Amino acid sequence: MTPRPTRHPSHRSSHRRPRALAALACAGVLAGCAQLPTASAPAPTGREPLVVQPAQAGRVVEAATAVLQAASDPATADPAALAARVSGPELDLRTAAHTIAAAGADPAPTGGADDLTAITSILPRDGDFPRWFATVTAPGPDQAPSLVVLRAADARSPYTVWATPTLLPGASLPTLAAPADGVAVVEPEEDTNLPASPAAIATRYGDVLTEGTTSASAGDFAPDAYRAGVETATAAEVASLQAAGGTFTQERSVLPGSVLAVRTRDGGALVVAAYTWSTTSAGPAGGRPGELDPALAALAGTDEALEATVTRQEVVVFSVPPGASGGGGDPEQVQVVAAQSGPVQVATG
Amino acid sequence: MRRLLAWFLLVVGLACGLTGAALLTVLAPPERIDVVERVQDPGVAVVTRPGLAELSGPDVRLRAEAPDGADVFVAVARADDADAWLDGARHTEVTAVTGELSEPRARTGTTGTGAAADPRRADVWLTSTTGRGSAELTWPTGADDDYRDGGGIVLFTATDGVAAAPGTVRLSWHAEGRAATHPAGTPLAVAGGVLVLLGGLGVLLSPRPARRPRSRRRA
């Protein structure tokens, strides 16, 4: 038996070498080929997003402005068409103005915006709905800028103009961060670095408007033109009714869900709040019905009444200085910087 | 031996150079990455996963087609806003682009139940457009990093938010980076050129082997 000849190792490796080289070349070519990129999810920042981007805000305001301009004449305005881009106190006030104008009376000025050209925006950082943002408009014929507040109930609903309070004489808005940076939201019950929470400030000012100088919170607020006007009108009404033997009662409450606030650059807050203010003027028992103001008569649907309950919507903007609640020293007073109000309903008896 | 090596370099260099040139020209990848997704039952919307818009290139193009000529709405939104708008409604999500560069495919999944609302009423869209039967928009992705607060950017298409979303969705990116060229192309072309040069010089400068004198047949 002859031994089987064994293959020489170098002979075997010489066979494998071309295969290895070919495999290496293939791998090299494959590695050198173009490849489909892979998508990667963006890393979260942990920061609340702007409610809308500045460009988005511009488009929203443009759409809302078009609807408001189409309804600029209260006599011909279509409240149903307005509802597409107007809501809340603004819709109530404009609907009332339409009713008054349609009846041939002159609606009283409400302090709403008379020019909707936006010169800057206040863009809160808030990822949740409902959302809101505001624009500051150019001064119109009334020579005063307004704060146009727009709100969206949910992601599927458009932003609607909710209020347009105009700056009061001599008042100015506090400094806020640039629109692209956004402003931090202050929750209604949050009082961090504030003399009181936005909700508390709204409630206290409502009390001041109703009770006047006898309110326990009267000292918390600096004098303002809106409060002076309300006090004067109320005093005149009370005096007139008392002289005739009648009575005057009033009630004011913060509109639920209406308190909005953002942090200002100095650490304070800009607060917006709306009120429902009802006044009941009643003539003397057994007396003759009194003649109603034409605008109120249009809302009431009658020219005379012995008793009239007028419901008004009020929107007030506060500049709240920084300062912890309960802190020492004499804190700065809260300043009302803008306001809007008007009758929306009249009930007679 | 030296001459043989020179010829070897010349041949290998030519092969490398031609391969490199081919990879850079006739075998170059397509300029755009195009994905067409046809979905039978897409729900009320088709939306991309965050990050997909930035797959490649300076922009992304979205085109959607509805077979019945319905109004088609296409938009770009922050991911969190699109989620809030969908609010659990049945929709298709394009989650990734897979496969070969020459034949990329979309990977999709359908989730949710129920309808939504007319997307044209909402204000959550960063940009949007509507067309009858089809609609298309191009979104520059260069600043998409700015939208990370809102979960990133997504592309979105629907009809009226109640009826079925467009069944054909085309996503297109300009190929960039490793998707735009074969990385081996330029090195192969350069290396091939160098080898051809060296080989050519070697062939020219190497002495030819001396020829054997012919034997005289006729003496």
**List of chain A residues whose C-beta atoms are within 8 Å of the C-beta of residue B18:** none
Q: Which has more pLDDT, A344 or B25? A: A344
Question: Which of B29, B36, B45 has its CA nearest to residue B93?
Answer: B45
Whether the Cβ atoms of residue A334 and residue A206 lie closer than 8 Å to each other = no
Q: How far is B39 from B167, CA to CA, in rounded Å?
A: 5
Write down the pLDDT at residue B26.
Answer: 78
Residues B163 and B131 in one domain: yes
Write down the pLDDT at residue A6.
Answer: 47
The answer to whether residue B211 is domain-embedded is no
What percent of chain A clears pLDDT 90, i.e. is strictly above it? 70
Cβ-defined contact of A35 to B180 (cutoff 8 Å): no
pLDDT tens digits for range A276-327: 999 999 999 888 888 999 999 999 999 999 999 999 999 999 999 998 665 5
**List of chain A residues whose C-beta atoms are within 8 Å of the C-beta of residue B85:** 155-156
**List of chain A residues whose C-beta atoms are within 8 Å of the C-beta of residue B77:** none
Q: Which has more pLDDT, A329 or B159? A: B159
Question: Which of B102, B208, B48 has its CA nearest to residue A39?
Answer: B48
The answer to whether residue B72 is domain-embedded is yes
- Closest CB to A39: pick one of B97, B126, B145: B97
Residues B124 and B170 in one domain: yes
Residues B95 and B125 in one domain: yes
* Nearest chain B residue to A41, by CA: B51
Disruptive mutation site among A26, A29, A33, A38 for chain B (greatest number of B CBs within 10 Å): A33
Find the helix packing angle between A198-211 and A225-243, rounded to 10°: 40
* Nearest chain A residue to B184, by CA: A32
**List of chain B residues whose C-beta atoms are within 8 Å of the C-beta of residue A65:** none
**List of chain B residues whose C-beta atoms are within 8 Å of the C-beta of residue A159:** 123
Cβ-defined contact of B180 to A34 (cutoff 8 Å): yes
A52 CA: distance to closest CA in chain B (Å): 7
Write down the pLDDT at residue B212.
Answer: 63
Q: Please check the confidence at residue A8 and state whether its pLDDT lies above 60.
A: no
For chain A, the average pLDDT equals: 89
**List of chain A residues whose C-beta atoms are within 8 Å of the C-beta of residue B145:** 42
What percent of chain A clears pLDDT 70, i.e. is strictly above it? 89
The helix or strand, by DSSP H or E, that contains position A274, with its residue range, turns out to be strand A269-282
Residues B75 and B59 in one domain: yes
In DSSP terms, B75 is beta-bridged to B128, B156
Per-run averaged pLDDT (10 residues), chain B, 219 residues: 84 88 80 92 97 94 92 97 98 95 92 97 97 97 93 97 96 86 82 89 79 56
B99 CA: distance to closest CA in chain A (Å): 8
Instruction: Check if B154 contacts A (Cβ < 8 Å).
Output: no
Residues B199 and B113 in one domain: no
Residues B37 and B15 in one domain: no
Helices marked H in chain A — which ranges? Answer: 9-31, 54-70, 79-82, 88-102, 198-211, 225-243, 294-300
Write down the pLDDT at residue B206.
Answer: 80
The answer to whether residue B47 is domain-embedded is yes
Write down the pLDDT at residue A218.
Answer: 94
Please identify among residues 110-139 of chain B the ones whose CB lies closer than 8 Å to any CB of chain A. 116-117, 121-126
Q: Count the domains in chain B.
A: 2
Instruction: Check if B2 contacts A (Cβ < 8 Å).
Output: no
The answer to whether residue B110 is domain-embedded is yes
The answer to whether residue B83 is domain-embedded is yes
- CATH number, domain of B104, equals 2.60.120
Please identify among residues 68-87 of chain A the ones whose CB lies closer than 8 Å to any CB of chain B. none
pLDDT tens digits for range A121-167: 999 999 999 999 999 998 878 889 999 999 999 999 999 999 999 99
Contacts of B209 (CB under 8 A, 6+ apart): B3
Cβ-defined contact of B145 to A42 (cutoff 8 Å): yes
Residues B173 and B199 in one domain: no
**List of chain B residues whose C-beta atoms are within 8 Å of the C-beta of residue A156:** 85, 87, 116-117, 121-122, 161
Range among A101-115, A187-201, B17-31 rated most confident? A187-201
* Nearest chain B residue to A130, by CA: B84
- Closest CB to B181: pick one of A34, A52, A152: A34
As a whole number, mean pLDDT of residues A114-122 equals 88
Residue A18: pLDDT band (50, 70, 90) is low
Q: Please check the confidence at residue A47 and state whether its pLDDT lies above 50.
A: yes
Write down the pLDDT at residue A117.
Answer: 87
Residues B57 and B141 in one domain: yes
Residues B16 and B66 in one domain: no
The answer to whether residue B217 is domain-embedded is no
The answer to whether residue B139 is domain-embedded is yes
Q: How far is B202 from B207, CA to CA, in rounded Å?
A: 9
> Quick one: tokens of A206?
């409502």
pLDDT tens digits for range A217-273: 999 999 999 999 999 999 999 999 999 899 999 999 999 999 999 999 999 999 999
pTM for the predicted model, two decimal places? 0.85
As a whole number, mean pLDDT of residues A201-223 equals 96
Quote the domain boundaries for residue B138: 32-177
Write down the pLDDT at residue A3.
Answer: 45
Cβ-defined contact of A157 to B122 (cutoff 8 Å): yes
Write down the pLDDT at residue B157.
Answer: 98
Instruction: Check if A158 contacts B (Cβ < 8 Å).
Output: yes
Residues B20 and B45 in one domain: no
Q: Hunting for tokens 């002859």 — which residue is that?
A: A2
The answer to whether residue B63 is domain-embedded is yes
Question: Which of A96, A87, A70, A110 has its CA nearest to residue A162?
Answer: A87
Residues B83 and B146 in one domain: yes
Q: Please check the confidence at residue A111 and state whether its pLDDT lies above 70.
A: yes
Instruction: Check if A308 contacts B (Cβ < 8 Å).
Output: no
Instruction: Provide the 3-class DSSP secondary structure of residue A115.
Output: coil
Buried b (16+ CB within 10 A) or exposed e, A313-335: bbbbbbbbbbbeeeeeeebebbb
Write down the pLDDT at residue A21.
Answer: 61
Write down the pLDDT at residue B165.
Answer: 97
Residues B83 and B157 in one domain: yes
Q: Which has more pLDDT, A71 or A90? A: A90
